[in-house]
Amino acid sequence: MPDDHVAEVAALRAQYSALPPGTPVRLAKPTSNLFRFREANAHPGLDVSRFNRVLHVDPVTRTAEVGGMTTYEDLADATLAHGLMPSVVPQLKTITLGGAVSGLGIESSSFRNGLPHEAVRELEVLTGDGRVVVATADNEHRELFHGFPNSYGTLGYALRLRIDLEPVKPFVRLRHVRFGNAADCAAAIARICADRSYQGEPVDFIDGTVFSRGALFLTLADFVDHAPSVSDYTGMHIYYKSIPFKQVDHLTVRDYLWRWDTDWFWCSKALGVQDPWVRRFWPRRLLRSDVYRRLVALDRRYGLSRRLESLRNAYPTEPVIQDIEVPVDRLAEFLEFFDDEIGISPVWLCPLKVRDATPWPLYPLDPDTLYVNVGFWSGVRLGFGEEMGTYNRRIEQVVAKLGGHKSLYSDSYYPEQEFWRFYNGDVYQGLKREYDAEKRLPDLYEKCVRGR
């Protein structure tokens, strides 16, 4: 282990120990991809800026040693230089490796590689009780290793991770295949993920975009050594708008990894950034998700949108910003409900299957089941007498009925008993007693539902 990393760990432990008892503990991070907005905290956060770099890439063993606060943008750049990439690269550049492991992440390789935490070989954690422990799948901290995913920093913070990498080719070929209904699309997802091919050609990546009830597209992608030409969706052209019109497309591998970041999937439209006149003068370096997220945070803080709605005498809008997973054979049912009762479009589809039969207890997925993540990021206008949370709570209920799960990066409305049933409260409380007995960190329900 590099000497400077050892020194940085010691400095962080001293900083943590110096916090007065009862002081809320948080990280001083310049970016966040969570959508649980809170009031600004007067207490200084832990300075974890030292843990934002790639420590080592080993092209022989195809592994990397990475600081927990390293962004996937920096990690991918370091590994692509060796012809390698992390096995799952979440869609947004400023998602950190530690964040993706403790809060889950997903992308179009997840049907074959599972979730980001399944690539972790070793996890160094600053625990809630101030220790720094190294957890692996088979050492004395194996319960923490398996319980860390979906703990959202309530058991501790990842300082260093050793992860597996996989080889890449220079380009990615994309095929956009249209389906006229959700049932046919779901059946195709199941078949393609099982075969890892479509029409006799390989599929290395698969995700989907639902534009309407009768216009669903699967994007099937594979690595290639050569491309007749490559598209550029980092400037005036917008990736998701190309999907219905290009049957075949090619991107560099780096541009494929970040194809969704430039326009935050399609959410930049709400900020006016997709208007050609605005886009022409918007600096290209600011066409990225973290910029848009900061704009949304400012709006939430100062209430500009709420004031405009009030001036128009409009009912308020409930933010419906969620990712959920349902088994592939229940996908059509969920999409029908969603179209009928929620009405947001487009929505994103991403198949996933955990590859490790060892359970990840705080987000229990059946290793024999192919799930499909459905992502939707917009809002629904409340009707007369409807309270904030009406539509999010309805989604939670339907997802549970269909045997699915919901990610916790955004607002949640579960009653406490129900929450712990879905997210394995018994295991979590055991880990809390072992690694944060004095509860210096909030518990998972307090953080993800009560917003503390």
Q: What is the pLDDT of residue 195?
A: 97
Containing H/E element for 47? strand 46-47
**How far is Cα 110 from Cα 118, in angstroms, rounded to an integer?**
10
Residues in the chain, how many? 452
* Span 3-168+433-448 CATH architecture: 2-Layer Sandwich (3.30)
Q: What is the DSSP letter of 338?
A: H
Neighbours of 320 (CB within 10 A): 21
Asked if residue 40 has pLDDT above 60, the reply is no
- pTM: predicted TM-score of the whole model, two decimal places: 0.94
Report the Cα–Cα distance between both ends of the chain, in Å, rounded: 35
With a cut of 90, say whether residue 22 has pLDDT above it: no
Domain positions in the chain: 3-168+433-448
Checking if the pLDDT of 43 tops 60, the result is no
Share of the chain above pLDDT 70, in %: 94
Residues 54-82 pLDDT 10s: 999 999 999 999 999 999 999 999 999 99
Q: What local confidence, expressed as pLDDT, does residue 3 receive?
A: 74
The pLDDT of residue 302:
73
What lies within 8 Å, CB to CB, of 171 at 6+ separation is: 223, 224, 225, 226, 227, 230, 250, 251, 252, 253
pLDDT tops 50 at residue 320: yes
Reported as a single tens digit per residue, the pLDDT across 123-174 is 999 999 999 999 999 999 999 999 999 999 999 999 999 999 999 999 999 9
Q: Distance between CA 376 and CA 373 in Å, rounded?
A: 10
Residues 6+ apart with CB under 8 A from 281: none
State yes or no: pLDDT of 42 exceeds 50: no
pLDDT band of residue 358 (cuts 50, 70, 90) is confident
% of the chain residues with pLDDT over 90: 80
Can you give the pLDDT at residue 311? 65
pLDDT value at position 27? 75
Least confident of 191-200, 286-295, 424-433: 286-295
* Mean pLDDT rounded to a whole number for the chain: 92
Residue 41 pLDDT level (bands cut at 50, 70, 90)? low
Residue identified by tokens 């934002």 is: 52
Question: Which tens digit of pLDDT belongs to each residue from 98-112?
Answer: 999 999 999 999 999
Instruction: Provide the CB-side half-sphere exposure for 173 (13 A, CA).
Output: 13
pLDDT on residue 369: 97
Cα(143)–Cα(429) distance, rounded to whole angstroms? 12
Q: Which of 7-21, 255-269, 292-306 shows the highest mean pLDDT?
A: 255-269
Which pLDDT score is estimated for 356? 81
In angstroms, the CA 143 to CA 155 distance is 12
HEC profile of 255-295: HHHCCCCCCCCCHHHHHCCCCHHHHHHCCHHHCCHHHHHHH
Q: How confident is the model at residue 228 (pLDDT cuts 50, 70, 90)?
A: very high
Q: Is the pLDDT of residue 30 over 70?
A: no
pLDDT at residue 299 tops 80: no
pLDDT tens digits, one per residue of 171-211 = 999 999 999 999 999 999 999 999 999 999 999 999 999 99
Give how far Cα 98 sits from Cα of 52, 71, 102, 352, Å. Answer: 10, 9, 6, 20
